[in-house]
Structure 1
Amino acid sequence: MLGRLRDLLAALTAFVVGGFLAWHYPLGHITATTLFVATGLLAYYRLSWFLVIVPALLPVVGFAPWTGWLTFEEIDLIVLGMASGGYARMFVDHPPGGSSRRSWLLPVLSLLMGLSVLASLVRGFADAGGFSFGWFQGYDGPMNSIRIGKSFFLALLLLPLLRQLLRDPQEANGGKLAWGMAIGLGTASLAALWERLAFTDLLNFSSDYRSTALFWEMHVGGAALDGWLLLATPFAIWAVRNSRTWPQQLFSVGLIIIGAYAALTTFSRGVYLALIVALPLLAWQTRHLAGLESAQPHQQTWGPLRWTMALATLGAMAFAVFSGGGYRGLMALMGVVVAALSMPAVLRGIKPGQYFVGMVIGLIAGGMIILFAGLVAKGPYIAYSVLFAGMLALLYWSKRRLTSDRYISCTAAFAALSLSAVHVAFHWGGGEALWGMLGAMAAVIAVVSRGVFSANPIWPSDIRWQANFFGGGVAICAVVAVFVGGGYVGERFATSEKDLDGRFDHWNLSMSMLQDELDVLFGKGLGRYSANYFYAIPDNKFPGTYQIIKEQEKKSLSLVAPRRGISFGDALRVSQRLDFDATGPFEATLQVRARSGATITVEVCEKHLLYAAKCAIGQAKLKPNEELQSAHVQLKGDLLGYGPWYAPRAKVFSVAVANRSGLAEIDTIVLTTLGGTNLLKNGDFDLDMQNWFFSSDRDHMPWHAKNILVNVVFDQGLVGLLVFSLLVGAAILRLAFGQFRQHELAPFLLAAIVGFLVVGMFDSLIDTPRLAFIFYLLVLLALIPNNHSAKHRARNLAH
């Protein structure tokens, strides 16, 4: 009876809160409310789908730059909709409690963490001067405490639903969650890919443009994308291991490839370090699962040492090829590797004489193809592409029809493809590229020859294993390309010692803001970091601020500049997204009060979040005056572009105070194309910050503690740190050494949590609500007792 009452109350509470939020959604309350109700209905009938939907959408459903909301976001509506429908179904069905034994660990640690978060929430309200509700409060208001605190309670809200879904092993709901996380890696990485295509070249690793994807929380710096990549990458590896069809395998390998690209283009040393820690840990923890799989007929596996040696060798070949042959040579090398992986299985049983004849025929044919290819524009690339496609078709046909003539034909095609790869590298890089590719091809042919004539296969013929190897090879090649072909990575590592010293100074400053024993024990309160930082730093480090002020029923934007010299990247901007087709020319009209005088900069830039490309800029210098002044500014600069059709460039209007310590009260802003209509919404600020969004493009320290443990101590004190450590530590111990270690997801959960914490050594992470939500959800999942083991999975695989 109590269980049903809990379900009813949870369903009603989630529905009421979610409906209230949806009805006030800034971009359309009717649409948002309709979608929220539809989400609840879908959860009622297909709750398990949300194990995929929530993590898959989490990285891409943040629209704060358009809505102006900071406290609430779209993922809250999805989670509350899932909870309302899921608990309603549990109330109606009243599922049995099951035979799972009870454990004190999860409820006790959840209770302690919940109490700590609640206590810090109250302290946050008190530190802000009391609670006041507002839809568009910034990081210095009391609503920021709710923004930070909601994450743990949203995860806790889903815990009974998650536990119920995982009770039935036949439904494979754990696998659905893993697929959701893997797809979430893909959605985040696709967003990063769009960003790179739109604002830099795909293969430009020398500029200082660091990917942010659709994590708007990085508008004041931070590492939201970094943390998400570490949480999701292990599950993409799970997807590769558990794909059963070639489309699934191709899809999951694609996730690994674009995920590796996204990770590399963060240019984050924390990401690189976390991957170095998490991936070997994952390989070590999965060794017993590999043993279970290899116990089945016709299954083989490699240990970590052999994997390391093989990928290191491939990395050395990639380095030799890329140094002279560039990306074209690297792609040609990987094409030959793809073919080489299948050669030993196809040529099993070939005689040495046949192998020799095939090689000679292939080299002669390849030489003739090279001669003809030199007569055609881009001939080497065309010839290689045709040979590669023919090689794949021949390998596929040979595997299906094991005829004796496959021996010479496959060997000849492989030799011709290898020679064509050398030609591609030479065509691009000349003699410098020739020797590197020749050495790489000699090594590949030697390894293939060893595999062909070995008494036992030296690597598995299973297509999934080969896809795993190819994915790892692509990641290795990407690392080589970034470190060899891009100067920015070298610059990042060259300043590591200096940056680390700066981090220590910042952490010491953060701890010094805890001024009494209560602060030390229980923290300043959730979400109070930036507000306290403003008062703790020297005047010349003040980053600027903004707020909506109200005088005589009229609202205006108060904008304060940093108290130091301001470069283009240092300004505190208040911005609004424009349509993609806004190209200019632009003119702006402002009504401003500048009591001490101010220089106002207005700009429209091709910009996603932090990094501007082409801009149209104008300035207005206002004299000191207590009254409103009208400023008319024509923005100067080239017409903005749309960008490629597959990666259009976003356009952003921004306003900032450009003079040191300047203060301006902006009453109205109108932006038009010459003689056109107003492009801005809520330009009079009557709706507070709706449709507006602020950013600090370069100055990030004032907004983050820059360490997850320092962040917990500041928000929740030493008591909160103890509870947080117990919660996360218990999850790690259970995944690494406890009964849950036998679960198929355990190694991947462990790698995700540990990788996240490694990134968290250099950034706060849990001050990003949607990231904190999924982190806490995975931690709580690891503490659910009596999950089904990998032995059950192995039995399923055997059938």
Structure 2
Amino acid sequence: MASLLCGTVGLELAWHHPLSGLVAVALWLAVALMSAVAWVQTPLFVLAPLAVCGLAPLTGWITFEEMDLLVTAVVSGGNLGFAFGLGPRERAPAWRQGLAYPAATSALVLALAASALHGLWRGVQDAGGWQFGWFQGYHEPMNAVRNSKAIFLALALLPLWVEAARMQPRRFTRALRGGLVLALVAAALAALWERAAYTALLDFSSDYRTTGSFWEMHVGGAALDGFLVMTLPFAVLTLLRTRSPAYFVSMLGVVLLAAYACLTTFSRGVYLALPLALVPMLLLADAQRRRSHAVDPESTQAGVGTVALPLPRLAKLGALAMAAAFALASVLVFTGGGYRGLIALLGVMLVLLSMPASLWLPGVGLRVTALMLGALLGALAGGASWALSMAVPKAAYVNYAVALVVCGLLRWRDKPGLAQPFYVTAVCAAWFWLLASMVIVADYWGGTPARWTSVAALLALGGLWSVQLLDARFWPLRSTGYRGLRQRALLVAGLVLVMAVVALLGGGAYLRDRAATWKEDGRLRIAHWQAGLQLMHGPEQWLLGKGAGRFVASHFYEGPIQSHIGDYRLRTEGDESFLALTGGKHSLSYGEMFRITQRIEAPTTPTMRVRVLARSGVESDLRFEVCERHLIYIGNCSDRGVHVKPVVPSDGGEPVALWQPYDIELKTPSDLGGSGLLSRAVTFSMAVGTPGVRIDIARVALLDGTGRPLLVNGDFNREMAHWFFSSDKHHLPWHFKNAALHVLFEQGLVGLALLGTAYVLVLVRLSVGRGRDHPLAPAFVAALIGFAVVGAFDSLIDASRIGFLFFLLMLLGLGLRAMPGEGLPRSA
């Protein structure tokens, strides 16, 4: 029955897909067939494409989207495969089942669903009653469906996944983890491509925040931010626990790529969420490892090996001291020495991380002597190098390279297991020389200010190395072989990330500006929250909410007039459809107009023509643009406007709105759209340039110089198919900007209490409860913490894909549990 119900809904949606119903049906059937054959692995099928399965800028769909097709296909095919006994046939014993829901938890889930369903009903009623439409906007009844469908899509998958976790719990867990990691890869690659195509990979000063493949950010929001913080913990946990060298290298690349995507969001919420989420994850993973080691220190499993004993506390303290010293040194060196000084500092740290274990074999007295003598020799060599750099241009860089080579040669000459006091002296002398050479590079580039800040960094790192050499308990890199290489590779990746953050903060004007305005932004956000709560009237709305999807409309009709946003409606007159486009009442600067857009093929002729049939009851401006646009940032534009006037009757009466044709010419910008792999999307846009004025548009056409039409559905007879809309910079009226307050507004105190209870229960269950030893429990906790941190500054749940992922993680976390001994083979 579940298969037939979802199949009917999914095929109906696929058949009405705006791009091609036949192709959509074919793809839907392919996914359903694949899900029927391998229904245990369906978490992989659902999650892996989640980041890139939104085509709203091409289709015009916002209530329905490709995620709905994907989920219905998987639910229909997976349940059909389960019903006919495809795949595994025997259920695992109860103690081996990976998902189990006590009666109280099941009741809580049902209450959550009931609250969401009631919020959907209230939202539809507040919008004027049920009225189906394929292309309705944020003010109309179908917006309640868009805002509330996420939890129902997650619940539709849950019974199938419970059976999968009961049949083959390990395979289900691997599919879940793999799907989340691949989803992160897709989101990060989309962000990387966007930066390469529309700005520059290392451009941290332009006012351009990455949106990736998340169309939900067409009116602002933090969809990409929420997706990254909920998927990155699974990649980090996988990186820390994999034993395969090839898999380790690939996962390290994934984490670094995702870190770059996080940095380019320029989101203060993401920057705050990642440490607040990842630190508890590391602590929980470490606790899992300690429990596993306490149970059986010699336990092994095929292909996994013995559980490794966690680092002692002093070694962890040494690792933290190294990280703190490098972070401090990075700030000091970059302040004056710029990127060259920072790169020189990285070389110093790489040599430090490669220090051989044989340095600690001589006694403490010999190490003290070697350290003091090495520091003296390094200082003498540094002084000579400084004098040479003052006399010979570019000698600072040559000297640094020579010192780096000497350190490398000494490391190659190490004799493991053999105590060599003179070797310890030589290594210390070479490293201190390299440290002094770093100061010389910074001084050569930045002058006297760089010299003294770099000397401070030298003292910090030199003091740290002295303590670690004299007391081996503070040295965290004791492991040798592959495990030692893993540890060092992770530390190098961490150093690179620290460098990136320092460079972003110090060299990126845009982020500095955002950091400088956090107080003002905070006051603005608090005022917005207060204004939003004032839209709720009476005990009933506070208890049960105003209804799903009603914030935008409520803010429009009851909020401050000066912040009213633009809007569109599709109207009919006789048998003809036309678009009613309204300008907002706020400041309509170039970046703040409400735009109706359509992606087009880049014209190749020098000019284009816009022909439009429009009317207006008052004099108003109608703007047209052809620009390179990914989502909300435009560039390389050609734009012009027409002045739409009402017609004055011949008898001199009141002006009336009559249809009038307009024809204007646009010049084609040079290199519009680019070419090749990094070609940029080209969009045609229409906007009302007069505040609060409505202009009706019956037909619009864009023709290139040869007369070839570049628009489709210009007469709106297919409703809003292929048309999209955006509010590029005026974002607050579109979101409550807080996930908890968003739930309060839509579902009232009852819905907020239910969701808060479920959220806290998941965190407790996976941190100290029955699910704490599940391999993915630390990542689940980190993902949900990250969601809460970002959700403190943005609604998040009003983006369907983000809400869907959040509800999936929360619902799975409510039932996730570890099998006996589960922690042992997963604590490498």
Fold in common (TM above 0.5): yes
More deviation in 556-565 or 351-360?
Answer: 351-360
Partner Cα distance (2:350, 2:44) in 1: 31
Contact 1:344/1:451, CA 8 A, preserved across alignment = no
More deviation in 458-467 or 217-226?
Answer: 458-467
Question: Partner of 1:794: helix, strand, or coil?
Answer: coil
The alignment status of 1:55 with 2:28, answered yes or no, reads: no
Contact 1:249/1:467, CA 8 A, preserved across alignment = no
Q: Which residue of 1 is the match for residue 68 of structure 2? A: 76
The alignment status of 1:104 with 2:114, answered yes or no, reads: no
Partner Cα distance (1:665, 1:180) in 2: 46
The alignment status of 1:301 with 2:316, answered yes or no, reads: no
Task: Report the CA distance shift for 1:263/1:381 in structure 2 as closer, same or farther (over 3 A).
Answer: farther
Q: Which residue of 1 is the match for residue 632 of structure 2? A: 610
Partner Cα distance (2:309, 2:427) in 1: 25
More deviation in 605-614 or 49-58?
Answer: 49-58
Q: Which residue of 1 is the match for residue 56 of structure 2? A: 64
The alignment status of 1:174 with 2:173, answered yes or no, reads: yes
Deviation at 1:796, TM superposition (A): 5.9
Deviation at 1:621, TM superposition (A): 0.9
Amino acid at match of 1:287: D
Show CA shifts across 1:171-192 (max 9, x none). 3532442343233333222322
Q: Which residue of 2 is the match for residue 527 of structure 1? A: 549
Question: Partner of 1:652: helix, strand, or coil?
Answer: strand
Deviation at 1:220, TM superposition (A): 0.8
What aligned pairs does 1:144-543 form with structure 2 within 5 A after superposition? 144-167=143-166, 171-292=170-291, 299-301=309-311, 305-345=317-357, 349=361, 425=442, 428-429=445-446, 432-433=449-450, 436=453, 440=457, 455=472, 458-460=475-477, 461=479, 462-543=484-565
Contact 1:616/1:639, CA 8 A, preserved across alignment = no
Question: Partner of 2:822: helix, strand, or coil?
Answer: helix
Q: Which residue of 1 is the match for residue 19 of structure 2? A: 27
The alignment status of 1:699 with 2:713, answered yes or no, reads: no
Contact 2:326/2:461, CA 8 A, preserved across alignment = no
Contact 2:317/2:474, CA 8 A, preserved across alignment = no
Query: Percent sequence identity over matched residues?
Result: 37
Partner Cα distance (2:408, 2:30) in 1: 46
Show CA shifts across 1:434-485 (max 9, x none). 5555665676566567656755571133233223322332232222222222
Contact 2:319/2:476, CA 8 A, preserved across alignment = no
Task: Report the CA distance shift for 1:558/1:333 in structure 2 as closer, same or farther (over 3 A).
Answer: same
Deviation at 1:71, TM superposition (A): 0.9
Q: Which residue of 1 is the match for residue 141 of structure 2? A: 142
Contact 1:367/1:419, CA 8 A, preserved across alignment = no
Deviation at 1:610, TM superposition (A): 1.7
More deviation in 393-402 or 607-616?
Answer: 393-402
The alignment status of 1:601 with 2:601, answered yes or no, reads: no
Deviation at 1:363, TM superposition (A): 10
Show CA shifts across 1:747-771 (max 9, x none). 2211211221122122111111111
Task: Report the CA distance shift for 1:308/1:498 in structure 2 as closer, same or farther (over 3 A).
Answer: same
Deviation at 1:579, TM superposition (A): 3.4
Partner Cα distance (1:762, 1:587) in 2: 43
Question: Partner of 1:779: helix, strand, or coil?
Answer: helix
Structure 1: 5+ residue stretches without partners? 1-8
Partner Cα distance (2:91, 2:396) in 1: 67
Contact 2:620/2:690, CA 8 A, preserved across alignment = yes
Task: Report the CA distance shift for 1:545/1:719 in structure 2 as closer, same or farther (over 3 A).
Answer: same
Contact 1:576/1:691, CA 8 A, preserved across alignment = yes
1:758 paired residue among 789, 798, 810: 789
More deviation in 398-407 or 414-423?
Answer: 398-407
TM-score, with structure 1 as normaliser: 0.88
Contact 2:630/2:680, CA 8 A, preserved across alignment = yes
Partner Cα distance (2:392, 2:37) in 1: 64
Show CA shifts across 1:21-54 (max 9, x none). 2222222222222221221222223334443343
Task: Report the CA distance shift for 1:95/1:513 in structure 2 as closer, same or farther (over 3 A).
Answer: farther
Task: Report the CA distance shift for 1:691/1:479 in structure 2 as closer, same or farther (over 3 A).
Answer: same
Task: Report the CA distance shift for 1:500/1:34 in structure 2 as closer, same or farther (over 3 A).
Answer: same
What aligned pairs does 1:527-676 form with structure 2 within 5 A after superposition? 527-579=549-601, 585-625=607-647, 626-636=657-667, 638-642=669-673, 647-676=678-707
Contact 1:51/1:177, CA 8 A, preserved across alignment = yes
Partner Cα distance (1:366, 1:159) in 2: 68
Partner Cα distance (2:806, 2:580) in 1: 36
Contact 1:593/1:666, CA 8 A, preserved across alignment = yes
The alignment status of 1:793 with 2:793, answered yes or no, reads: no
Contact 2:627/2:634, CA 8 A, preserved across alignment = yes
TM-score, with structure 2 as normaliser: 0.85
Contact 2:41/2:171, CA 8 A, preserved across alignment = no
What aligned pairs does 1:724-739 form with structure 2 within 5 A after superposition? 724-739=755-770
Superposed CA RMSD: 3.8
Partner Cα distance (1:746, 1:536) in 2: 44
1:16 paired residue among 3, 8, 28: 8
Deviation at 1:794, TM superposition (A): 1.5
Contact 1:525/1:715, CA 8 A, preserved across alignment = yes
Question: Partner of 1:742: helix, strand, or coil?
Answer: coil
More deviation in 643-652 or 312-321?
Answer: 643-652
Deviation at 1:140, TM superposition (A): 1.4
Q: Which residue of 2 is the match for residue 5 of structure 1? A: none
More deviation in 185-194 or 684-693?
Answer: 185-194
Contact 1:581/1:642, CA 8 A, preserved across alignment = no
More deviation in 474-483 or 404-413?
Answer: 404-413
Structure 2: 5+ residue stretches without partners? 298-305, 648-656
Deviation at 1:69, TM superposition (A): 0.5
Amino acid at match of 2:311: T
Contact 2:288/2:823, CA 8 A, preserved across alignment = no
Contact 2:52/2:214, CA 8 A, preserved across alignment = yes
Deviation at 1:578, TM superposition (A): 2.5
The alignment status of 1:42 with 2:34, answered yes or no, reads: yes
More deviation in 333-342 or 594-603?
Answer: 333-342
Greater C-alpha Rg? 2
Partner Cα distance (1:33, 1:346) in 2: 65
Partner Cα distance (1:348, 1:37) in 2: 64
Deviation at 1:207, TM superposition (A): 2.9
Deviation at 1:167, TM superposition (A): 3.7
The number of aligned residues is 788
More deviation in 647-656 or 281-290?
Answer: 281-290
Show CA shifts across 1:156-181 (max 9, x none). 11212332333467735324423432
Contact 2:625/2:640, CA 8 A, preserved across alignment = yes
Partner Cα distance (1:396, 1:157) in 2: 59
